Structure 1
Amino acid sequence: MSNQLKEIFTGDAPPAPAALAAKVRTLGPSMTRSMQRVAEAVAGDPAGCAALTVTGLAELTGTSEATVVRTARLLGYPGYRDLRLALAGLAAQQQSGRAPAVTADIAVDDPIADVVAKLAYDEQQTLADTAAGLDTHQLGAAVGALSGARRIDIYGVGASSLVGQDLAQKLLRIGLIAHSFNDPHLAVTNAVQLRAKDVAIAITHSGSTVDAIEPLRVAFEHGATTVAITGRPSGPVSQYADHILTTSTARESELRPAAMSSRTSQLLVVDCLFVGVAQRTYETAAPALSASYEALAHRHTPRTSR
């Protein structure tokens, strides 16, 4: 990640205009309802809000001036004046075509071509937001823990369990001992066996999935290094996570539930983890990966009859 993006998402400098919308999407769900109204207003109409005073935006959103200022600070700006400058910059970028406007939700009567275009845009935006918001220090620490782990347990349910299976399969192919659990009872009974050299990973978009949090808690209390992959870094899962990898909180709609949109960002984080571990363990990972490719190639090659 570039130094500019690190500054944007670690609070060392106010977010650049192009990153403002990503900040709103990522932090919106953790805001109070009144702060969400302010965030939604500035993301939906940056040009209009840039022309408003703090009092005007408070009246427009039915909130208070203090709420507007708190929202600006949560988004990474020292004050409302700085937020207004970013809004003006974002509006200028959108008018020039360098920053796309937020697309509308998919409608029941949308032509299939529009469905493809809207989904493609949302997928691209989700990946961009996740990459921009991913804390590379936390990612590096998680990669380091995985690289030296005796055993890796991964917990997830529903769509997150599919992501967990993908990560476990990737790690197994480079010679690491990794298991994915979607049965909460089995996950907890295995978590009891983890120790200091082990790693436990919980994948939960909401950050509050009990069936993923409970085994992570058990692993945490038994001394394992714990990692949370979540769209809600302030959620309950954070209590038991040594390292938190935040995914983008994509917009949910009637025809595109959260399970679909969250999986895209989770898979990006999983790929980042895998590549990072493969780099750290290249001397052993490369031969293991080659051996797995060779084994699969033999399996897929038709046998000749004698």
Structure 2
Amino acid sequence: MKDIFSTRPPTGSRGHTPPAPAALAAKVRTLAPSMTRSMQRVAEAVAEDPAGCAALTVTGLAELTGTSEATVVRTARILGYPGYRDLRLALAGLAAHQESGRSPSVTADIAVDDPISEVVAKLAYDEQQTLADTAAGLDVGQLSASVTALATARRIDIYGVGASCLVGMDLQQKLLRIGLIVHAHADPHLAITNAVQLRSGDVAIAITHSGKTSDVIEPLRAAFDRGATTIAITGRPDGPVTQYADHVLTTSTARESELRPAAMSSRTGQLLVVDCLFIGVAQRTYETAAPALAASYEALAHRHSHRNSSHSHRSTR
């Protein structure tokens, strides 16, 4: 594989401001699975007891978690903070946020023998938590830059497989209805065939929760190499896909369980990001988007009316 920095430097995961205190718990849930075990212990400690950890020095937190000071500092940086001092300030803010009663405890996993009413309640809570975490952790600067790129794009390609493909198709139909030229590719061969035709002024979007799906990364890399603006929607901001992304939009997920795989929970956060992109583009292009949207509504209404009248005509014969 050639050097990933050989064409131009990716900017998607660089220059971010530290996450707000309310976003810290979401960052821990999102990033912990990709951390080393020692770093996970630090992340879990700060998430479970932010007030207690905020009162500790870097040495104290290292002793509490059975790790080293270097591990604590690395964990802070992976979570998006320049150093441990910034993480302590965020922990203090998170503790105050939780004391206000606005941060409920995490719900239990769905069990095989749960009554359907409890399944509904647990799923509803998990969906709400995923949406809240995604909103809290979403980099508004990256989102705004992505919207600008889409609003002025000559052509838009979207890559995703499995559940992420369904999200890509949802974004495609939204953008099509406001007059943009957009294609969502489920076939990886077709995706990369189209990606090599992109150039500066075009936009390519990769949707992958894991951040390491090769069928999604390869077409994004091809688009990146050819000068297109690239966007990654992913639950792993440190994943391989971000190396080829100019802009990274991070999603959060509810906890994965035996009866609720990641593909199911990740879709909720992805759909929120997709809706934010669509609304942002519609706002930026309102003068052309509004007539296009009205025309699509009218065309669909005419089609339904025509079908109903045809059915009525046949039934009276």
TM-score (structure 2 length as normaliser): 0.83
Letter in 2 for 1:61: T
Partner of 2:235: 231
Tell me if the contact between 1:47 and 1:91 (Cα under 8 Å) persists in the aligned partners. Answer: yes
Tell me the CA shift for residue 140 of structure 1: 1.6
Please report how far the alpha carbon of residue 110 of structure 1 lies from its aligned counterpart in structure 2 after TM superposition.
2.0
Q: Any idea what SS the aligned residue of 2:233 has?
A: strand
- Of the structure 1 ranges 100-109 and 252-261, higher mean CA displacement relative to structure 2 is found in 100-109
Unaligned runs of 5+ in 1: 1-8
1:61 aligns with 2:65: yes
**Distance in 1 between the 2:154 and 2:80 partners?**
39
CA 1:269/1:79 → structure 2, altered by over 3 Å: closer, same or farther? Answer: closer
Q: CA 1:283/1:177 → structure 2, altered by over 3 Å: closer, same or farther?
A: same
- Find the counterpart in structure 1 of residue 44 from structure 2: 40
Check 1:84–1:221 CA distance in 2 against 1; reply closer, same or farther (3 A cut): closer
Matches within 5 A, 1:34-113: 34-46=38-50, 57-75=61-79, 87=91, 90=94, 94=98, 97-113=101-117
Distance 1:27 1:193 in 2: 34
Q: Give the Cα separation in 1 of the matches to 2:214 and 2:200.
A: 23
Structure 1 position 160, deviation (Å): 0.3
Cα distance 1:172–1:36, how it changes in 2: closer, same or farther (>3 A)?
A: same
With over 3 angstroms needed to count, the CA separation of the structure-2 counterparts of 1:117 and 1:144, relative to structure 1, is same
Q: Which residue of 2 aligns with 1:281?
A: 285
The C-alpha deviation readout for 1:197-234, integer Å capped at 9, x for no partner, is: 21111111111110011111111222221111111122
Asked if the contact 2:160–2:216 (Cα under 8 Å) also holds between the matched residues in 1, the reply is: yes
Q: Is the 8 A contact 1:15 1:77 kept in 2?
A: no
Report the CA distance between 1:250 and its aligned residue: 3.4
Deviation at 1:56, TM superposition (A): 5.9
Match of 1:125 in 2: 129
CA distance in structure 2 between the partners assigned to 1:92 and 1:224 by the alignment: 43
Cα offset, 1:52, TM superposition = 6.5
Report which structure shows greater RCO (CA 8 Å, sep ≥6): 2
For residue 102 of structure 1, report the CA deviation from its aligned partner: 1.7
How far does the alpha carbon of each residue in 1:81-112 deviate from its partner, in whole angstroms, 9 at most, with x for none? 77567656655654663321122222222222
Q: Which residue in the other structure is 1:177 paired with?
A: 181
67-76 or 207-216, which moves further after superposition? 67-76
Which residue of structure 2 lines up, in the alignment, with residue 248 of structure 1?
252
Distance in 2 (alpha carbons) for counterparts of 1:218 and 1:173:
27
Alpha carbons of structure 1 residues 259 and 283: separation in structure 2 relative to 1, 3 Å: same
Q: Deviation digits for residues 3-40 of structure 1, max 9, x if unmatched? A: xxxxxx9445x743x43312311332343221112212
Whether the 8 Å CA contact 2:23–2:137 is kept in 1: the answer is no
Whether contact under 8 Å (1:90, 1:99) holds in the other structure is no
Measured in 2, the distance between the counterparts of 1:137 and 1:291 equals 32
Structure 2 unaligned spans of 5+: 1-14
Q: Deviations for 1:105-139, whole angstroms, at most 9, x for unmatched residues?
A: 22222222222222111111111111122122221
- 2: distance between equivalents of 1:81 and 1:276? 35
Check the 8 A contact 1:72/1:83 in 2, yes or no.
Answer: yes
> Which range is displaced more, 94-103 or 166-175?
94-103
Cα pair 1:156 1:181 within 8 Å, conserved: yes
Give the secondary-structure state (helix, strand or coil) at the position aligned to 1:37.
helix
- Which segment is superposed worse, 85-94 or 197-206? 85-94
Indicate how the Cα distance of structure 1 residues 239 and 298 shifts in structure 2: closer, same or farther if over 3 A, else same.
Answer: same
Supply the distance in 1 between the matched residues of 2:99 and 2:227 (Cα, whole angstroms).
Answer: 53
d(CA) in 2 for partners of 1:235 and 1:110? 35
Aligned residues: 296
Relative distance call for 1:222 and 1:71 in structure 2 (3 A) is closer
Q: CA deviation at 1:272?
A: 0.9
